[in-house]
Amino acid sequence: MAHGKDFESRGIEISGLTLNLEKMMSQKSGAVKALTGGIAHLFKQNKVTHVNGYGKVTGKNQVTATSADGSEQVINTKNILIATGSEVTPFPGIEIDEVNVVSSTGALSLSKVPGELLVIGAGVIGVELGSVWQRLGSKVTAVEFLGHVGGMGIDMEISKNFQRILQKQGMKFKLGTKVMGATKRPDGKIDVAVEAAAGGKNETLTCDVLLVCVGRRPFTKNLGLENVGLELDNRGRIPVNNRFQTKVPSIHAIGDVVAGPMLAHKAEDEGIICVEGMAGGAVHIDYNCVPSVIYTHPEVAWVGKTEEQLKEENVPYKVGKFPFAANSRAKTNNDTDGLVKILSHKETDRLLGSHILGTGAGDMINEAALAMEYGASCEDVARVCHAHPTVSEAFREANLAASFGKAINF
C-alpha cells in the first residue's frame, strides 16, 4: 500500500519505510501462542483431560499414549475419535529442508524475504503464501500443473479474474506446467527444471527459496489402525459411515483423515455432530453448504455449486453478477477489485452457488451459507434489507440480478 499509490492517493506520504521481519515474525508467534494457549484453557474450563503424547489405537476401546520420555499411558474408553489431521504432501525427488526448500510450515518462518521465490502449486496454499511474500518484496513465480489458479472447486470465471488481479499485483504464473526436479547450486540458489504438462521443451527457473505446495495428505500412518482391522482407502483416508463410525463401531474419525475438503471449519462441525451422535443425537451435515476461502488480498470465497458443475449436471440455472466497482463502500475504500457471482435454479430461483472475489469475501460468504442451509431463493436474499454503505450490499445486488435479471445499482 505504501510502496504503491494507495497511500499517496489518500494524501498519506511516507519516507524511509522499512520491514522488520524479525518483529513481524515475533508478532505472528505471539498470536499463535495465544490461540494454542486458549485451547489449553478451554480444556481446563470444560474438564477435558489433556494427555501429552503420541497416541496409538491398541484395542477397539483402548488408546496408548507414548510420551517424549518413552513412558506409556494406557487409556480405556467407550469411544475413540481419530482427528489427527493432515501433513504436507512431499514432492517426489525434492527434499524439504525448511531453509531453502520449504513446505508451507517453513514458509511461515523464513529468516529473510527471498529475492526470488518459486512456488510449486498455485492452489489455495500456494497463492496465499506466495502473495504474502510478494507483498513483502519477493519476486514470486508459481508453477501449476493445472490450467488455472485457486485449486479444485473454484469457479473458472472467478479463477480467471483472481489470476488477473494477482498478476497486476506482481505475481507470475506458469500454468499447465510440471516440475521435473530441483538442484541446489554452489552459490545457494536453486535451479528448478520445468516443462509443459502436455510435454515439450525443458526450461530452468532459478530461485532463492523453493516453496513446495502440492497439497496435504491425511495423517493416518502409525496410528495402530491395523491393530483393530481398519484399512485405509486408496487416498490414505479412513472410511466412515454417515455417523463417522469406522467398521469398528466404537472408533470414529473426522476432519482431514476422512473424505471431504480439508478445512478446519468442516472438521470442527464434524467433531461436534460426531460427539452429539455418540450421545444419541441426530447426525447431519450438508457438505454443499460448507464454504471455502482463499485468504489473499483480495479474498476468494465460495459455497455451493460452480457454473461448471451445474453444466455438467444439466441443471438449468441463471447467473447474477455485481462488481465491487459499483459498490459504495468499495469505492470509498478505493478497493474495488472483484465481484459477486450468484447461481440460481432457473425454474425455482433457489440459491445454488455463491462465488465472491473481493475484500471481505470470507466474511460475506457466511450469509450465503446461511441462505443455502435454509433453502433460500435469490429473491429471499434480495428482499432482505442490507445496511448501507457495506460491501455485503454487492451480495444482495447479485442475488437481485439472478432473480430479477438486473441489479438496481449497476
| 349 dihedral zone (left: phi>0; alpha: psi -120 to 50; beta) | left
Q: Is 259 helix (H, G, I), strand (E, B) or coil?
A: coil
- Which of 166, 163, 165 has the alpha carbon at shortest distance from 176? 163
- Sign of the Cα pseudo-torsion (18, 23, 29, 32, in order): negative
Amino acid identity for residue 173 in this structure: F
388 given a catalytic annotation: yes
Tell me which of 3, 265, 284, 388 is the catalytic residue: 388
Cell for 252?
470414529
Cell for 46?
470444560
Cell for 2?
505504501
Q: How far apart are the C-alpha atoms of 336 and 30, rounded to whole Å? A: 32
Residue 205 CA: distances (Å) to CA of 4, 179, 193: 27, 10, 6
Cβ neighbours for 237, distance < 8 A, ≥ 6 positions apart: 218, 220, 257, 258, 259
Q: How far apart are the C-alpha atoms of 373 and 172, rounded to whole Å? A: 38
The two beta strands, 101-102 and 209-212, are parallel
Catalytic residues, which ones?
A: 388
